[in-house]
Amino acid sequence: MTRGCPAIHHADQGARDAAAACVEMLTGRGAAVRMAAVGEPEEDGFAERLMRTIKGEEVDLSASEDLADARRPPGRFLDDVYNAKRIHPSPGDLTPAEFHQPWMNAQRTQSSTVA
């Protein structure tokens, strides 16, 4: 799946998200960086819900073969399950990949007409 840069990156006050290198990389690509207030997780409800889903459907239900397997990032779950198979009611019972596809098609059309 092709990934782009978000228009807005909203995060908590975590060390990784607040790190200068992360902020510089995002702003250098044109993304606005927003931080939730300290101790206010409800300000980032969508991200909190996504993390709950990952923990509940991937981490808690997965049997790891060894420590290295347990440390693998959840990218496979996000690409293969969450984005491709798990429907979401708010965008019309579509998967994130199905919802995202018209935008991707428009980007390809726009870049081919510019080139």
- Three-state secondary structure of the chain: CCCCCCCEEEECCCHHHHCHHHHHHHHHCCCEEEECCCCCHHHHHHHHHHHHHHHHHHHCCCCCCCHHHHCCCCHHHHHHHHCCCCCECCCCCECHHHHHHHHHHHHHHHHHHHC
Distances from the Cα of 112 to the Cα of 91, 107, 109, angstroms:
28, 9, 5
Task: Specify the pLDDT at position 18.
Answer: 79
Q: For residue 37, is pLDDT > 80?
A: yes
pTM assigned to the model: 0.49
pLDDT at position 45, please?
78
Alpha-carbon distance 115 to 109, whole Å?
10
Instruction: Name which residue leads in pLDDT, 62 or 88.
Output: 88
pLDDT of 75-84, one tens digit each? 778 888 888 8
Q: Is it the case that residue 73 has pLDDT exceeding 50? A: yes
Q: Is the pLDDT of residue 60 over 50?
A: yes
* Rounded distance between C-alpha atoms, residue 36 and residue 45, angstroms: 10
Q: Which two tokens stand for residue 70?
A: 């347990």
Task: Indicate the domain borders of the chain.
Answer: 83-115
